[in-house]
C-alpha cells in the first residue's frame, strides 16, 4: 500500500488555525459574560465599554513591538510566549474583584495577545510560497472568527454550569497547554524541520518571497511610518476593524437587549455573523490567490478588498432599517462577510511590502487598526447611544468608513516594498 505524504506546510496551516481559534475564544469570553460581570462587579454599561476598550488599547500598543520580536527571535519562541502570556491573563480575569483590577488585567491581556498575528505573518513569510499567501491568511483569520462564533454560546452555557470566573480558569489553563505544544512542535524555517521532504523544502525555498536585505538587519520604525503604502494600509484596516469589532464587543449584548433574548439563544444568533466572517476569509483567500496566479499582483490585493468593503457598507447601512433578530443577523452577516474579505488582502499586502520584516509591518497596520478601529468602536457604540439615544449613528459611521476604504485601496501598491523609496 502506497504511503500518502501530507505536505508539512499543510499540517502547519492546521496548527496556525488552532492558534487563532483559541485566541478568539479567549477574547470573546468577556462579551458573553457581560451581564454576570456587571452584576458581580457592580459596574455600568459605559464602564464595561472601557473594559472592552482597554483591551484594544493594550493590544494596539504592543503590535509593532510584538512584530519586531517575532522578526528577531522567530515565531516559534514568540508565539509560544504570546499564547502562554495571554492564557495566564485569561485565568487572572477570573480572579478580579473590582472595576479597576479588571481594567488592569484586560489591558495586559490585550498586550499579551498583541504578538500573535504579526508572528503568524512571519510564519507565512518563512513557510509559504507567495502564490499560497492569500488562502493561508484566509484560513488563519477564519479560525479567529470560528473561535469567537463558538465561544459565544459555549461560554454562555459554561457560565450557567460553573460560573463566569471558573469559565475563565478553564480557558486559561487550556491556553497554556497550547502554548507549550507550539514550542515543541513548530520550527521557524523549513530547513529546521525534520519531517519535511527535500522536494517540499526546495519548493518552499524557491517560490517564497526573497529577503531584500542582509540577514539580521532591522527595518526602523521611522522608515515604516514614512511609507505612503503603510499609511493607506493602516487607514483601511481602521475602517475594517471599526465594523468587525462590533461583533466581538457589543453584538451579543445589542441583540440580547434589543430583542429580549436568553443568553444561549443570543449566543446562537451571534454565531451566525462570525461564521459569515469565516466564509468571507476563505472566499477572499481563494480569490486573492486565483487573481495572483493570473499575473495580476495589484488586482489580487485590491479587488477582494474593494468587493469586501462594498458588502460591508451594504450590510451595515441596513441595520437601522430592520426590527427582527433574523433580519439583523442576516444583514450583519453580509457586513461581516464583507469586512472579513478585506483581511487576507490586507495581511498579504503587509507581507508583500514588508518581506522579511513582515512581523513589524503587519504589526504596525494592526496597531492602527486596533487603536483607532477596535478601541474607538468599543467606546463609540455606548457613547453614541448615550448622546443620541439611538444605535443608528454608529452603523452610519461604519458605512462611511467602508466607502472611504474603497477609495483608499484603489491606489495601494503591493509591488512597492517598504524598504525602498515609496514612489507615490
CA distance 94 to 87: 12
10 Å CB burial of residue 260 (0-12, 13-18, 19+) is exposed
Q: 243-292 pLDDT, tens per residue?
A: 888 887 788 888 888 888 877 788 788 889 988 988 998 899 899 989 99
Q: Which of 96, 118, 119 is nearest to 108 (CA)?
A: 96
Give per-residue burial for 88-121: e unless 16+ CB within 10 Å, then b: bbbbbbbebeebeebbebbbbbbbbbbbbbbbbb
C-alpha cell of residue 197: 521532504
Q: 156-184 pLDDT, tens per residue?
A: 888 888 888 999 999 999 999 999 998 98
Between residues 243 and 192, the one the model is more confident about = 243
10 Å CB burial of residue 2 (0-12, 13-18, 19+) is exposed
pLDDT tier, 6 (very low <50, low <70, confident <90, very high otherwise): low
pLDDT tier, 419 (very low <50, low <70, confident <90, very high otherwise): low
Q: Is 74 left (phi over 0), alpha (psi -120 to 50) or beta?
A: left
CA distance 209 to 354: 10
- What's the pLDDT at 122? 86
- What's the pLDDT at 212? 56
Largest CA-CA distance found in the chain, in angstroms, rounded? 70
Q: 359-406 pLDDT, tens per residue?
A: 788 888 888 887 777 778 778 888 888 899 888 999 999 999 999 999
Q: Where are the alpha helices (DSSP H) in 226-375?
A: 228-249, 251-259, 263-293, 297-317, 325-341, 343-354, 358-368
- Mean pLDDT over 287-298 rounds to 90
Say which DSSP state 196 is in: S
Say what the pTM is: 0.75
CA distance 418 to 93: 39
* Percentage of the chain exceeding pLDDT 70: 95
pLDDT tier, 231 (very low <50, low <70, confident <90, very high otherwise): very high
Go through the domains of the chain in sequence order and give each one's CATH number. Answer: 8-207+226-409 (1.20.1250.20)
Please give the mean pLDDT across all residues of the chain.
85
- What's the pLDDT at 346? 93
Give me the residue label for grid cell 507567495: 130
- What's the pLDDT at 13? 83
Amino acid at each position: 500500500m502506497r504511503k500518502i505524504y501530507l505536505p508539512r506546510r499543510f499540517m502547519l496551516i492546521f496548527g496556525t488555525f488552532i492558534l487563532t481559534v483559541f485566541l478568539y475564544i479567549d477574547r470573546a469570553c468577556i462579551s458573553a459574560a457581560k451581564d454576570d460581570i456587571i452584576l458581580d462587579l457592580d459596574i455600568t454599561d459605559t464602564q464595561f465599554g472601557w473594559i472592552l476598550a482597554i483591551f484594544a488599547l493594550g493590544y494596539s500598543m504592543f503590535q509593532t513591538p510584538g512584530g519586531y520580536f517575532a522578526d528577531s527571535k522567530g515565531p516559534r519562541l514568540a508565539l509560544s510566549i504570546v499564547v502562554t502570556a495571554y492564557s495566564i491573563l485569561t485565568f487572572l480575569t477570573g480572579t478580579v474583584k473590582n472595576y479597576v483590577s479588571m481594567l488592569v488585567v484586560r489591558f495586559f491581556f490585550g498586550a499579551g495577545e498583541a504578538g500573535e498575528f504579526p508572528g503568524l505573518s512571519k510564519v507565512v513569510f518563512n513557510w509559504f510560497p507567495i502564490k499560497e499567501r492569500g488562502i493561508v491568511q484566509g484560513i488563519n483569520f477564519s479560525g479567529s472568527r470560528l473561535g469567537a462564533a463558538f465561544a459565544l454560546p459555549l461560554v454562555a452555557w459554561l457560565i450557567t454550569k460553573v460560573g463566569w470566573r471558573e469559565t475563565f480558569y478553564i480557558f486559561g489553563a487550556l491556553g497554556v497547554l497550547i502554548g507549550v505544544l507550539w514550542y515543541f512542535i513548530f520550527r521557524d524555517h523549513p530547513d529546521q524541520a525534520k519531517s519535511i521532504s527535500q522536494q517540499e523544502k526546495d519548493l518552499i525555498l524557491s517560490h517564497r518571497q526573497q529577503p531584500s536585505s542582509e540577514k539580521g538587519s532591522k527595518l526602523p520604525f521611522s522608515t515604516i511610518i514614512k511609507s505612503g503604502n503603510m499609511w493607506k494600509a493602516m487607514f483601511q484596516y481602521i475602517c475594517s476593524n471599526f465594523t468587525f469589532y462590533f461583533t466581538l464587543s457589543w453584538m451579543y449584548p445589542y441583540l440580547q437587549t434589543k430583542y429580549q433574548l436568553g443568553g444561549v439563544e443570543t449566543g446562537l444568533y451571534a454565531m451566525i455573523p462570525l461564521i459569515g466572517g469565516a466564509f468571507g476569509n476563505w472566499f477572499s483567500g481563494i480569490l486573492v490567490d486565483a487573481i495572483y496566479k493570473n499575473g495580476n499582483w495589484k488586482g489580487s490585493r485590491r479587488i477582494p478588498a474593494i468587493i469586501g468593503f462594498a458588502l460591508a457598507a451594504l450590510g451595515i447601512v441596513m441595520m437601522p432599517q430592520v426590527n427582527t433578530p433574523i433580519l439583523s443577523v442576516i444583514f450583519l452577516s453580509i457586513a461581516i462577510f464583507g469586512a472579513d474579505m478585506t483581511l487576507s488582502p490586507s495581511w498579504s499586502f503587509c507581507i508583500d511590502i514588508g518581506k522579511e520584516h513582515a512581523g513589524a509591518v503587519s504589526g504596525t497596520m494592526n496597531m492602527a487598526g486596533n487603536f483607532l478601529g477596535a478601541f474607538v468602536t468599543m467606546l463609540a457604540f455606548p457613547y453614541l447611544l448615550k448622546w443620541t439615544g439611538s444605535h443608528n449613528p454608529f452603523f452610519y459611521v461604519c458605512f462611511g468608513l467602508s466607502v472611504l476604504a474603497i477609495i483608499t485601496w484603489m491606489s495601494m501598491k503591493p509591488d512597492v516594498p517598504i524598504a525602498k523609496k515609496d514612489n507615490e
